[in-house]
Copies of this chain bind each other. A is one copy, B any other.
Amino acid sequence: MSRWLSRTPSVRTVIPRYYQAKARLIDLLGDLPGHSAFPPERTLSDVFGMSRTTIRKALEELVLEGRLIRGTGRQGTFVAPQGRIHRITLDALVQDAVTRERPEVRALVDLVNAESVLLHGDEPIGVRSTYLRAERFPRFAERYDGTPLRRFLTDTYDIRFGDPHPWCTTARATPRVATLLDVRPATPVLSVGWVGTDSTGAQVERSWVVLRGDRAQLALSAPARP
């Protein structure tokens, strides 16, 4: 086995400091009802005898898990109320059936891009972005009426889509996505992508969705097998 692929043992028996902090914060969290104010970072730093950086790392994990909510300025940190994580089906993503802001359509050279922010209530939970071959969808920008994208394409351009074969990964929010989703840059997000083909097998659509992990989960389907 070549050396750059060697599996380092990397024992690490010690529990990281930030993780000890997280455990204590979870204790603290357990007693508090939703919407309670949570102590500020600097206080926790003093009380726990750890640097603010370490505390922040622990807090960040709890935010990502949807257990804490943080606001800027005097808003501070709060205990998140229950039931803020929504399950979204893969089918709804592909079919563009999730509530969203009206897509922003941009014409590129050979492509057209439609980008929208997925909403639950008025909270942003994801971003959807689709690239279409301009040639196959003439005058898309003028004609598109904001209805669910796949249905629109089927109705207007007489497309018959094949299986999109989506895939799923973790990624980090780019600055642009972070702005749209109202998270900090580099926040871990769930990313789903797929390629749409027409009846001839030609690629006509390329899409991805980025979901906020603290507000959305992806519901999948895996039928039982004999």
Contacts and interface: CB of A to CB of B under 8 A. Distances in A.
A165 interface: yes
A84 to B, nearest CB: 9
A174 to B, nearest CB: 8
A17 to B, nearest CB: 10
Contact of A16 (B94, B175, B220): B175
Interface in A34-49: 35
B167 A170 contact: no
A109 interface: no
Interface stretch (A127-135, A137-145, A182-190): A182-190
Contacts of A87: 167
15 contacts: A3-B75, A5-B123, A6-B71, A8-B71, A12-B178, A12-B179, A12-B185, A19-B185, A57-B186, A90-B222, A91-B225, A163-B224, A164-B224, A168-B190, A170-B188
A8 B72 contact: yes
Given A213-B169, A217-B168, A175 B3 contact: no
Interface of A: 1-8, 10-12, 15-16, 18-19, 35, 57, 61, 64-65, 69, 71-72, 75, 78, 87, 90-91, 94-95, 122-124, 150, 160-172, 174-175, 178-179, 182, 185-186, 188-190, 192, 194, 213, 217-225
A36 to B, nearest CB: 10
A192 B64 CA distance: 16
B221 A163 contact: yes
Contacts of A10: 72, 179, 182
Nearest to A3: B75
Nearest to A64: B172
Contacts of A160: 224
Contact of A4 (B8, B69, B170, B188): B69
A65 B186 CA distance: 12
Contacts of A188: 170, 172, 188
